[in-house]
């Protein structure tokens, strides 16, 4: 590598506070070797300081930088030898470093930077930049900007989440799902997305539930209401089953509930496959369950079902089977 290019790289790292002790020592030795080197360093430092304004504008204009250099070349009336062109190459290296820093700054801190969060191993909570609190169910994917703009707060969700939205009337809160667009101003609600169905359950406030590709096709939901979107069809109703939020509350409650429905809820809550044997299916309409689980492990829940119904429990091929002993 040419010495001038090497020094230019060190200068760029030094100005960005990334140079090692060895590189700083090399730079000091170069500065002390010739007063001309100090003039060149001052010129590079000036370019760097001017780049602060460019970073504020979220863009580094390389063409503008080269235009300024080219103007100085042609207005100076000097004739450049090969050594001078090497120095210009060094200047190019500095400009390149500045551009890379500007790009990195914009990528890390610009408003378009997107944060991706996956609740891979367990339920998870996250506070969004506006103060909105989101509870994510295990297996859910959430994407949101590092900072919201002043006109809207747009995020995307795949899976299931409970949102306690911070009020900001001037900037509607919008959730994009594979099928729908959900819009609120300040409320709390559940969103459940699946392969072909989206479901919204409103705890407080109001929510607009719209088809993603046709927002004119929408419904308004208030507290205590729920709706699903399947294809292009909305189905509305009132909240009658608090167990839909059990993943977030940790509470499962069954009152005179058919065994098959209990099994379905337990399978969903514990992420296991619980089934009824054929002989139990034939009489399951006679088996109704009254029980309440509060943050109980699967083994305890199954034991209570066993004691309540008198059924046996066995595991076969990654399934939990309820059978008549």
CATH class of 250-323: alpha beta
pLDDT tens digits along 272-309: 999 999 988 888 778 888 889 998 999 999 999 998 88
Asked whether residue 136 carries a pLDDT value surpassing 50, the answer given is yes
Tokens 């900007």 -> residue: 145
Pairing of strands 288-294, 214-222: unpaired
Cα distance between residue 27 and residue 95, in whole Å: 18
pLDDT at 30 over 60: yes
User: Between the CA of residue 149 and those of 1, 165, 173, what are the distances in Å?
Assistant: 45, 16, 11
The span from the CA of 324 to the CA of 18, in Å, is 71
Listed by start position, the domains of the chain span: 3-109, 114-243, 250-323
- Residue 290: which residues within 8 A CB-CB, separation 6 or more? 254, 255, 256, 257, 308
- pLDDT (0 to 100) of residue 57: 45
Whether 96 and 114 have beta carbons less than 8 Å apart is answered as: no
Q: Whose CA is closest to 5, among 85, 102, 98, 104?
A: 85
Q: Is 132:172 a contact under the CB 8 Å cutoff? A: no
- Mean pLDDT of the 228-237 span: 91
Q: How confident is the model at residue 51 (pLDDT cuts 50, 70, 90)?
A: low
Confidence of residue 72 (pLDDT cuts 50, 70, 90): low
Residue 79 Cα distances to 39, 83, 122, angstroms: 19, 11, 69
Strands (E), 79-230: 114-118, 124-127, 133-136, 141-145, 153-158, 160-164, 173-176, 180-184, 188-193, 197-204, 206-211, 214-222, 225-230
Higher local confidence (pLDDT), 136 or 13: 136
What pLDDT is attached to residue 32? 84
Quote the CA–CA distance of 293 and 297 in Å, as a whole number: 9
Of 34, 32, 41, 38, give the one whose Cα is nearest residue 10: 41
Q: Which of 32-36, 165-169, 178-182 has the highest mean pLDDT?
A: 178-182
Per-residue pLDDT at 321: 93
Segment 6-30 shows an average pLDDT of: 78
As a whole number of angstroms, the distance between CA 242 and CA 322 comes to 25
Distance of CA 79 to the CA centre of its chain: 56
Q: Which residue has the higher pLDDT, 103 or 230?
A: 230
Which CATH topology does 114-243 take? Jelly Rolls (2.60.120)
pLDDT more than 90, % of the chain: 32
Instruction: Look up the pTM and report it.
Output: 0.56
Closest C-alpha among 265, 185, 199 to residue 228: 199
């Amino acid at each position: 590598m040419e010495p001038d290019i090497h020094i230019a790289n060190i200068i760029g790292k030094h100005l960005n506070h990334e140079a090692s002790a060895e590189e700083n020592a090399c730079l000091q030795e170069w500065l002390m070797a010739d007063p001309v080197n100090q003039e060149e360093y001052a010129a590079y430092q000036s370019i760097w300081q001017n780049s602060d304004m460019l970073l504020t504008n979220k863009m580094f204009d390389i063409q503008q930088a080269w235009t300024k250099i080219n103007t100085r070349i042609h207005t100076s009336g000097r004739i450049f030898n090969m050594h001078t062109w090497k120095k210009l190459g060094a200047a190019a290296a500095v400009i390149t470093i500045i551009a890379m820093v500007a790009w990195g700054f914009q990528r890390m801190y610009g408003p378009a930077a997107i944060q991706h969060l996956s609740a891979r191993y367990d339920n998870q909570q996250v506070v969004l930049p506006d103060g909105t609190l989101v509870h994510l169910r295990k297996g859910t994917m959430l994407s949101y900007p590092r900072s919201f703009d002043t006109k809207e707060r747009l995020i995307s969700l795949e899976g299931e989440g409970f949102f306690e939205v911070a009020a900001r009337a001037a900037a509607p809160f919008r959730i994009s799902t594979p099928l729908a667009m959900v819009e609120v101003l300040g409320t709390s609600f559940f969103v459940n997305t699946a392969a072909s169905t989206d479901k919204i359950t409103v705890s407080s406030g109001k929510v607009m539930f719209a088809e993603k590709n046709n927002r004119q096709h929408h419904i308004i939901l208030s507290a205590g209401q729920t709706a699903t979107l399947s294809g292009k069809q909305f189905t509305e109703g009132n909240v009658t089953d608090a167990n839909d939020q059990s993943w977030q509350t940790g509470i499962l409650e069954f009152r005179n509930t058919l065994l098959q429905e209990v099994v379905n809820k337990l399978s969903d809550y514990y992420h296991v496959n619980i089934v009824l044997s054929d002989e139990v299916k034939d009489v399951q309409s006679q088996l109704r369950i009254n029980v309440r689980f509060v943050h109980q492990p699967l083994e305890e829940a199954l034991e209570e079902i066993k004691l309540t119904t008198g059924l046996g429990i066995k595991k076969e091929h990654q399934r939990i089977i309820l059978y008549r002993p």
